[in-house]
Amino acid sequence: MRVHYFQRYHQKENIATANTMLLLSRLYQHSPDAFYRTLRSLIQLDYFEPEPAFTIQDVAEESVPDASITQADFKLLIETKRTGTFSIAQLERHLHAFKDEATKVLITLAPTPMNPDQLNTFSNILGAYNRSTNKGIVHVNTTFLDIADAIEQSISEHDYEMQDVLEDFRDFCAHDDLIPHSTGSNLMRMQLAGVTFERNVSNRIYYCKESTHIRPFAYLGLYRNKSVQAIGRLLGTAIYRIDTDEIQLEQGELPADWKTRCRKVIQDAKAEFGHCDVDTRLYFVEQFYPTDFRKTTAGGCIGGRVFKLDEILGCTNLPKDTAEIAEALAQKTWE
C-alpha cells in the first residue's frame, strides 16, 4: 500500500496551502541547497540565508496571508486561491505586512495564472505602493504545477525519497484539480545520458531504475555536455524484472523485436557499466534525431527536466516530423 504524505478529501484553500508548505518544508529538510534552487527558480532571486521559518495563517497587522516563509532579512508571503481570481483589495492589504526586510516577495498561487486584467491592475497598484514607500516588494504569480516543476528540476532523479514525496504532491494536486490534466503530448522529458549516450542513440532505447518517478511525456531528450543533443518520439515502455529475469510490456506499441533488443541493452549495460542490477524501465523511441538545445547558464544539470515544446518553439501544434522538431529545437536555448 502506498503511503500518502499529503492529506486529501478536503478541497479547501487552506488544505492546498498546508500541503504546499509541507512540500517546501520537507524539501528544505531533505536538502537546503535544493530548496534554495527551487526558490531562485520561482522568484528569480540570487541569494538566500539559511534557516527559514514556515508559517501558515501568519497574522499581520492588516491581513492574514495563507502562508509565509521568513528569515533574517527575507520575507515571502503566499496567497492561495483555487481559481486564477484573487481579491485585489486583499492583496493590497498584504503589502502592509512587509517591513524592513531586504527581500520582500508576495506569491499568488493558484491552479492557473492570475487573470490578466487582475494581474495588470495589481501590478499598477504594487508599482505605486513601491514608489511611495520605497519597499521594493516583488510579486510572483505562479501555479501548483510551476512549484512541482521547479522542485523536480532542483533535485536528482536518484533522490528517491524526495521524488516519492513530489510524486504524491502531484497526485494530490491532480486529485483536487489543482493542476491541469495532461497526456504529456507537448512535453519533452530531458534525461542525463553521459557515458551511455551513444548506446542510447544506436539502440533507440533509454533505461533507468523502475522506481524513478517520471510523469507522462511524448518526447525523450538526451542531455550531455550542457546540451540536449538528441530527441526522439516515445513509442512505449517495458519493465525488466531482475528477480524473475522477465521483460514485460508496460505501455505503448513496441517494435516486433522489442524483447530481443531489451535483452541486448540489459546485457551490454551490465557488462560495460554495471547498470540494470535492479528492476529497470526501458523507453523505446522511433529514432533519436540530433539537435543542440543548449543550456546557457553556468553549471550542469542535477537530474531530469520537463520542457513544454509548443511554448519553446512558439507553435500551437507541434510538427508531426520529429526531425523537424529537432531542427527547430537546435535554434533555441534554455537556462
Q: Residue 283: which of 309, 251, 244 has the closest Cα?
A: 251
Shared domain for 197 and 96, answered yes or no, is no
| In-domain check, residue 165 | no
Q: Is residue 307 in a domain?
A: yes
Q: Name the residue range of residue 220's domain.
A: 182-334
CA angle 218/324/305 to nearest 5° reads 40
The distance of Cα 299 from the centroid of its chain, to the nearest Å, equals: 18
Question: Are residues 77 and 202 both part of a single domain?
Answer: no
Q: Does one domain contain both 140 and 199?
A: no
End-to-end, the C-alpha distance of the chain in Å comes to: 39
Yes or no: say if 284 and 203 are a contact pair by the CB < 8 Å rule.
Answer: no
What pLDDT does residue 1 have?
Answer: 38
Domain boundary residue, one of 146, 174, 192: 146
Determine the Cα–Cα distance for residues 119 and 73; give it in Å rounded to an integer: 27
Q: End of a domain among 118, 146, 174? A: 146
User: Who has greater pLDDT, 308 or 102?
Assistant: 308
Residues 188 and 327 in one domain: yes
Phi-psi region of 245 (alpha: psi -120 to 50; beta: other; left: phi over 0): left
Do 214 and 258 belong to one domain? yes
245 or 11: which carries more pLDDT confidence?
Answer: 245
The domain boundary, picked from 119, 146, 173, lies at: 146
Check: pTM over 0.75? Answer yes or no.
Answer: no
Residue 182 pLDDT greater than 90, yes or no:
no
Question: How large is the average pLDDT for residues 253-276?
Answer: 84
Residue 90 maps to which CATH number? 3.40.1350
Same domain, 295 and 206: yes
* Cβ atoms of residues 90 and 119 within 8 Å: no
How many domains, the chain?
2
Strands 103-110 and 138-143: parallel
pLDDT in tens, 39-98: 888 887 655 554 566 677 665 556 667 777 766 677 888 899 988 889 999 999 999 999
Model confidence pLDDT, tens digit, residues 298-315: 877 777 788 989 989 999
pLDDT at 11 over 60: no
8 A C-beta contact, residue 64 and residue 14? no
Same domain, residue pair 225 and 114: no
Asked if residue 166 is part of any domain, the answer here is no
Mark whether 140 and 187 lie in a shared domain: no
Average pLDDT for 12-22: 84
Residue 8, domain member (yes or no): no
